[in-house]
A = this chain, B = another copy of it.
């Protein structure tokens, strides 16, 4: 069924499944049912089965899902079975913090280049990465084969950085700046703005 379009909601749940399956694998659990999964992840078991069924028949009736096998499959689906190079622009506090997550990302994804528009920042070292000036971006990204870009600059600079990413052939962007950026339709943008998140939380206070 590779042809049907998978909804964004489904794709966003896959990493959550993967994360929990990895936890189970570390505890040497062999199989898991959609029931168990649903309980732990606060999701409807039918939804989990349906999500997975978009991509294949990964379970066994009466048994559940083999954890090692399902991990392998989800990694393939998410394209995490290969190395994906990531670049980050904006070596401020947040950018620096994210660079230090490299170990977290395991082998699948890795921040391999950091840029900053402030000349004074160039040359600084963050977790074995040297901050480079923006002028180097095009050359560095194509040499390293970077496909995903992270934006951690102030809102006023985000569109500018996005434009440069697009010009460098970046395929997907994770934008931490609190502003909507415009990119060609073939470039995927996700947002990760914690101020927006906090503000919507306030609504639920009594």
Residues of B within 8 A of A15 (CB): 195-196, 199-200
Residues of B within 8 A of A148 (CB): 198, 201-202, 205
Would you call A194 and B192 a contact (CB within 8 A)? yes
Would you call B109 and A202 a contact (CB within 8 A)? yes
Would you call A200 and B97 a contact (CB within 8 A)? no
Q: Which residue of B lies closest to A194 (CB)?
A: B192
From B92, B98, B182, B200, A14 is in contact (CB under 8 Å) with B200
Taking the nearest CB of chain B, how far is it from the CB of A196, in angstroms? 4
Within 8 A of B (CB), among A174-206: 174, 176, 178-180, 182, 188, 190, 192, 194-206
Determine if A42 is an interface residue (Cβ-Cβ < 8 Å).
Answer: yes
Residues of B within 8 A of A101 (CB): 94, 194-195
Would you call B172 and A205 a contact (CB within 8 A)? yes
Determine if A171 is an interface residue (Cβ-Cβ < 8 Å).
Answer: yes
Would you call B201 and A172 a contact (CB within 8 A)? yes
Within 8 A of B (CB), among A74-93: 77-80, 84, 86, 92-93
Residues of B within 8 A of A104 (CB): 178, 195
Determine if A121 is an interface residue (Cβ-Cβ < 8 Å).
Answer: no
Determine if A11 is an interface residue (Cβ-Cβ < 8 Å).
Answer: yes
Determine if A47 is an interface residue (Cβ-Cβ < 8 Å).
Answer: no
Determine if A117 is an interface residue (Cβ-Cβ < 8 Å).
Answer: no
Instruction: Give A contacts to B, CB under 8 Å.
Output: 11-12, 14-16, 18-20, 40-42, 77-80, 84, 86, 92-94, 96-98, 100-101, 104-105, 108-109, 147-148, 150, 171-172, 174, 176, 178-180, 182, 188, 190, 192, 194-206
